[in-house]
Structure 1
Amino acid sequence: MPFDPRSTPLNPVQARVLATLMEKARTVPDSYPLSVNALLNGCNQKSSRDPVMELDEGDVQQALDDLLRQSLVTPVSGNRTQRWEHNFPRGVGVPEQSAVLLSLLLLRGPQTAAELRLNAERWHRFADISSVEAFLDELQERSEEKGGPLVVLLPRAPGAREPRWATLLGGPIDLSALPAAPAARAAASSGAEQRIAALEARVEQLEAQLHALCQQLGVEPTSAPTQD
């Protein structure tokens, strides 16, 4: 039976942990599965996250234990450190493309179809916005037998050109608690945010190369400090 958010919705920490595992499996596959420390760093990133969180190792471990009971993550034994991988598509019962869209919504909050296509570039290249919308429509029309809808199209915010989509993996959406869509959001990231994202991508690549080298040498890489 696929994960049913109506009976056991994800809390914010569980959502962040699960979506971060999904993200890193796609963007830095050489360093995946992740140790708890690497996962913590990913959860606490300052860019590509809404909201930004300040979790500690205990928060992440508790979320992993909860997700394990729901068959959404799996522990993997390493040389010295236990690592973790997600079971997102199978656990939730959706194809890979839908899992990408759901993970982006968990990491960044409500987004338009155009924003989702842009933000998914490093995860999966959707042919066009129509293909993104097709998967979103499928998630919204998901049958009750499969666990019901997993996304909802929100009412268009004042001043916004396009409506945004939100995930229901965390339970029903409280429309009154949603912030208004910033006017500049449709233009995606600012120049500063793009530079930060590029730097983080480069750091991830270097960490992946270090991890691969350490595996070849049979040593465990030194854990990186938690980001401030």
Structure 2
Amino acid sequence: MTALPILTAEEQRVLGCLLEKEVTVPASYPLTLNALRTACNQSSSREPVVDYDERQVQDAVRALKDRGLVRVTWMDYGKRTLKYSQAAVEVLDLPDDERALLTVLLLRGAQAPGELKTRTDRLHGFGGRDEVEAVLQRMAQRDEPLVRQLERKPGQQDNRWIHLLGDVPAEVGPAVAVDREQVLTDGVEARDEALIAAYDALADLEPDPMPTTAFEDWFITHVAELAGPHQTADVGCGLGDTTLLLAEAGALPTGFDLSPRMVEQARERNLDVEFQVGDFRKLLRPGNDAGWGAILAWYAFIHLAPSEFAAVVKHLAQTLLPDGVLAFAVHVGNAVEPVTRWQGEEVAVPLVLHDPAEVRRAVAAAGLKAQSFLVSDDEGPDRLYLIAQPE
């Protein structure tokens, strides 16, 4: 084709849904009008969330059909129903990798390469951010470019990309969109090595005990109460201050941390509490019980990329007793801060702020029912405190 079609927002959403559902739910594809409307209006993996009526979807389908981007099929078996499928892959000559990126850009607007890597997992397996960027560059260098890189704005740490199948708004997406996957640019192992080195060095500075608010004291004590007579794991325990608070509240805690020097210092500072070097992503059940009565992750997830969060929560949930609890605190927002202040000292490793909705979805996906508390004040990012139990 000699020129790209210019699609309305409704047409972009409909086409994106047809591209997506052909890959993710092939058994029910092509889609009926009702199924297509549901796909357009779903609240997950869509930005913005919309509430199209049947007429809006029908008008968009008709316009796309006129451009040759949608096919209409009359099913001649069972209930005679019109069904819809995409033809854009042939019209635009899209290989699988370009198709996946275009689909997510149609459904979610401007995004950075790291976000696209995460959000295309079900559509195409990219090897990493570099591969995503290479495909985006290829799409941008077509005779009729399909995508364009936006100028980086103040506060952004990565360039975002948009598709060119419609008018580009003056302001696309959130005012500050940050690629929170950037902490994995060099891979998980490199990130972990940097964390261990940073926290080993911090441990040798012997920072002061961690101050807690009255609410945080209540929260930790409540976790100890919920654990009852069963053992508690304090993961990412650092110097063991929260582990000691758990013990003082009557729990039977073991502190785990990835930093050997942190664990050494924790043992010296809290002689009556058990500490082990350990990775909470590989946490095992206690040796003398069927599971943990409670797991506390006190700002232990602050260096995880969003793509890691759900898997970590699911793994920890699997090590709980049937009535055990998973409790954690995280900073929330849409940013990556280059330096973390930890117990009065600076740690030169990025702090990842997590989306509260994504956090709650991860908890629900792990089979847990959550009670959460969102706290805002003038002291840095907002914080989410959450206690969850198996449903």
Q: TM-score, normalised by structure 1?
A: 0.76
**Cα separation, 1, equivalents of 2:84 and 2:106:** 19
2:112 matches 1:112: yes
Partner in structure 1 of residue 374 of structure 2: none
Contact 1:152 1:166 in 2 (8 A): yes
Contact 2:148 2:161 in 1 (8 A): yes
**Cα separation, 2, equivalents of 1:83 and 1:110:** 30
Contact 1:36 1:84 in 2 (8 A): yes
Tell me: higher relative CO, structure 1 or 2? Use CA pairs within 8 A at least 6 residues apart.
1
Amino acid at match of 1:94: L
What does 1:128-139 align with in structure 2 at a 5 Å threshold?
128-139=128-139
Partner in structure 1 of residue 163 of structure 2: 167
Amino acid at match of 1:155: E
1:4-40 C-alpha deviation (Å, 9 max, x unpaired): 33xx401000000000011111111111110000000
Partner in structure 1 of residue 342 of structure 2: none
**Cα separation, 1, equivalents of 2:364 and 2:39:** 14
How has the CA–CA distance of structure 1 residues 44 and 196 changed in structure 2, closer, same or farther, with 3 Å as cutoff? farther
1:117-151 C-alpha deviation (Å, 9 max, x unpaired): 110001111122222111110111111xxxx2111
Contact 2:109 2:172 in 1 (8 A): no
Partner in structure 1 of residue 72 of structure 2: 75
Which is worse superposed, 151-160 or 179-188? 179-188
Partner in structure 1 of residue 188 of structure 2: none
How has the CA–CA distance of structure 1 residues 194 and 89 changed in structure 2, closer, same or farther, with 3 Å as cutoff? farther
How has the CA–CA distance of structure 1 residues 137 and 177 changed in structure 2, closer, same or farther, with 3 Å as cutoff? closer
SS of corresponding position for 1:71 = coil
Partner in structure 1 of residue 368 of structure 2: none
Contact 1:47 1:196 in 2 (8 A): no
Partner in structure 1 of residue 225 of structure 2: none
> Of the candidates 175, 180, 189, which is equivalent to residue 180 of structure 1?
175
Contact 1:158 1:180 in 2 (8 A): no
User: CA shift at 1:77, angstroms?
Assistant: 2.0
Q: How many percent identity over aligned positions?
A: 39
Residue segments in structure 2 that go unaligned for 5+ positions in a row: 182-304, 307-353, 366-391
User: CA shift at 1:184, angstroms?
Assistant: 7.5
Q: Which structure carries more strand by proportion? A: 2
Contact 1:13 1:63 in 2 (8 A): yes
Q: TM-score, normalised by structure 2?
A: 0.46
User: CA shift at 1:191, angstroms?
Assistant: 5.8
- Large movers: runs of 4+ above 2 Å: 173-179, 181-200
How has the CA–CA distance of structure 1 residues 45 and 196 changed in structure 2, closer, same or farther, with 3 Å as cutoff? farther
1:77-109 C-alpha deviation (Å, 9 max, x unpaired): 223211111112112222221121111001011
Q: Which structure carries more helix by proportion? A: 1
CA RMSD across the alignment:
2.4
**Cα separation, 1, equivalents of 2:67 and 2:20:** 19
Contact 1:17 1:39 in 2 (8 A): yes
Contact 2:112 2:178 in 1 (8 A): no
Residue segments in structure 1 that go unaligned for 5+ positions in a row: 201-228
**Cα separation, 2, equivalents of 1:65 and 1:199:** 38
2:52 matches 1:51: no
Amino acid at match of 1:119: R
| Count of matched residue pairs | 192
